[in-house]
């Protein structure tokens, strides 16, 4: 079983590819030191997501980096990706209460769950996921309609969540220190890395700053 270790969780997000191939972006993320890579393709069909996953998984597997498939646990199970990430609406609103309610978990897929408030986190923890996401901490173009949960939720997670958790949402090098000071030791970063002039160097800088917070 793959453990949710590491501090930097990055994304191959089709909204930010801008003509680049998913496999090439994944390679740069891994070369930069990403500990996790999530494939996120909002609005894409199942076949499109499966095709993208087929491009990304060989890259992450060769690098020893766990791949997370967003929204499609069946694709994760089919291709052998170790993780799937689901939002509140895809898990609880779909009538699921435990991680085992997702059939793919019987085939070895572990789940991550999004949470946006302490009560959602507590409910998610009872479901038994491998990790949870805490956010969006700041306003983010990735989810423009989502209200920021602020650093208060990060501080709450620091004090109450015992499984691995990741701060997510609008995090960049300019506000990373605030997130770390609030207690986060793992972060998810989307646009600040995918929009950077050099993905590898952006990842390396995040890793350096995260490592400093651990010492």
Answer yes or no: is 29 within a domain.
yes
**Residue-level pLDDT at 4:** 64
Distances (CA, A) of 173 to 26, 52, 160, 184, 203: 20, 28, 26, 14, 10
* Residue ranges in the chain whose pLDDT is less than 50: none
Answer yes or no: is 130 within a domain.
yes
**Residue-level pLDDT at 142:** 73
**Residue-level pLDDT at 34:** 98
Answer yes or no: is 181 within a domain.
yes
Domain tally, the chain: 1
**Residue-level pLDDT at 70:** 98
**Residue-level pLDDT at 130:** 97
| Helices 199-213 & 22-31 angle (0-180, nearest 10) | 40
Domain residues for the domain of 114 are 8-213
**Residue-level pLDDT at 213:** 85
User: Does residue 136 have a cis bond before it (omega within 30 degrees)?
Assistant: yes
Adjacent-strand bridge partners of 132 = 113, 165
CB 192 within 8 Å of CB 29: no
Answer yes or no: is 80 within a domain.
yes
Give the CATH number for residue 42.
3.20.20.70
Give the model confidence (pLDDT) of 65-78 as tens digits: 999 999 999 999 99
For residue 133, report the phi and psi dihedrals to the nearest 5 degrees.
-105, 140
Beta strands in 20-92 (DSSP E): 36-40, 67-70, 83-86
**Residue-level pLDDT at 146:** 80
């Amino acid at each position: 079983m793959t453990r949710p270790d590491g501090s930097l969780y990055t994304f191959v997000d089709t909204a930010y590819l801008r003509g680049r191939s998913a496999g090439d972006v994944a390679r740069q993320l891994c070369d930069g030191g990403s500990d996790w890579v999530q494939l996120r393709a909002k609005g894409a069909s199942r076949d499109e997501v499966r095709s993208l996953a087929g491009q990304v998984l060989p890259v992450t597997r060769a690098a020893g980096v766990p791949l997370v498939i967003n929204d499609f646990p069946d694709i994760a199970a089919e291709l052998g990706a170790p993780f799937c990430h689901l939002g509140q609406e895809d898990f609880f609103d779909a009538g699921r209460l435990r991680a085992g309610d997702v059939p793919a978990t019987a085939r070895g897929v572990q789940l991550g769950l999004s949470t946006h408030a302490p009560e959602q986190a507590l409910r998610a923890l009872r479901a038994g996921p491998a990790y949870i996401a805490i956010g969006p901490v700041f306003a983010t173009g990735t989810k423009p309609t989502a209200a920021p949960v602020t650093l208060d939720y990060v501080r709450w997670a620091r004090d109450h969540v015992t499984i691995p958790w990741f701060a997510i949402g609008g995090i960049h090098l300019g506000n990373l220190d605030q997130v770390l000071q609030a207690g986060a030791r793992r972060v998810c970063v989307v646009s600040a890395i995918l929009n950077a002039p050099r993905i590898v160097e952006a990842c390396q800088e995040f890793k350096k700053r995260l490592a400093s917070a651990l010492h």
